[in-house]
Each structure stands twice: as structure tokens, then as C-alpha cells.
């Protein structure tokens, strides 16, 4: 009984240690500054209301969450940028 328990425990530990995620910093190819630039370019290219102001940038779950606002038309939002290839993900936008 003891040998079976030790064997099961050893297999379980091996499986769980193999499923650990790699560190985020080792896989990041897009910097915060690049994510900021991507969001600014996207919104300024697709609008005639002027520049946006970046409020904050957070790195969460392999993507950057970029919060921004544009005072000229009372618009603000949050965009998600993939930290590996710089593609825009989901966006949330609201206008006052």
C-alpha cells in the first residue's frame, strides 16, 4: 500500500510540475511603449477628433491593458494589446 501511494504521489508531482507556466517576462516581445504607440496610432488613424491621452498601462495575462481618453469628444476606453505580436484585442469605448 505504501509503495502504491508513493508511486501515485510521485506521478502527481511530476505531472503538476510539468504544467507550470513559463515566466511572463521571458516571452514578452512588445514593450509598454510599443503597446502605447499601437493604441495611439489605431485611434488617431480611425478618428478625426484628435489625439488620445494614455491614462494607464498594465501588463495582465499576456496582454497590455491600455486605458485612454480623448477630451475633444468626451471619449474614453480600454484596449487590450497582445504582448507577443502587438495585435489589438478587445476594446471598450464610451462617449459621454
CATH number where 83 lies = 3.10.450.630
Q: Is the pLDDT of residue 25 over 60?
A: no
Whole-number pLDDT of residue 19: 60
* Count of domains for the chain: 1
Residue 12 lies in a domain: no
Residue 21 lies in a domain: no
Q: Is the pLDDT of residue 43 over 80?
A: yes
Q: Is the pLDDT of residue 26 over 70?
A: no
C-alpha cell at 57: 498601462
Cβ-contact 89, 80 below 8 angstroms: yes
Q: Is the pTM of this model over 0.85?
A: no
**Average pLDDT value for residue range 46-69:** 92
Whole-number pLDDT of residue 96: 85
* 3-class DSSP state of 82: strand
Range of the domain at 86: 27-95
Amino acid at each position: 500500500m505504501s509503495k502504491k501511494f508513493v508511486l501515485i504521489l510521485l506521478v502527481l508531482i511530476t505531472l503538476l510540475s510539468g504544467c507550470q507556466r513559463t515566466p511572463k517576462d521571458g516571452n514578452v516581445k512588445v514593450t509598454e511603449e510599443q503597446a502605447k504607440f499601437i493604441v495611439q496610432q489605431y485611434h488617431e488613424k480611425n478618428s478625426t477628433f484628435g489625439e488620445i491621452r494614455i491614462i494607464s498601462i498594465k501588463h495582465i495575462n499576456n496582454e497590455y491593458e491600455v486605458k485612454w481618453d480623448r477630451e475633444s469628444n468626451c471619449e474614453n476606453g480600454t484596449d487590450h494589446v497582445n504582448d507577443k505580436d502587438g495585435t489589438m484585442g478587445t476594446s471598450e469605448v464610451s462617449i459621454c
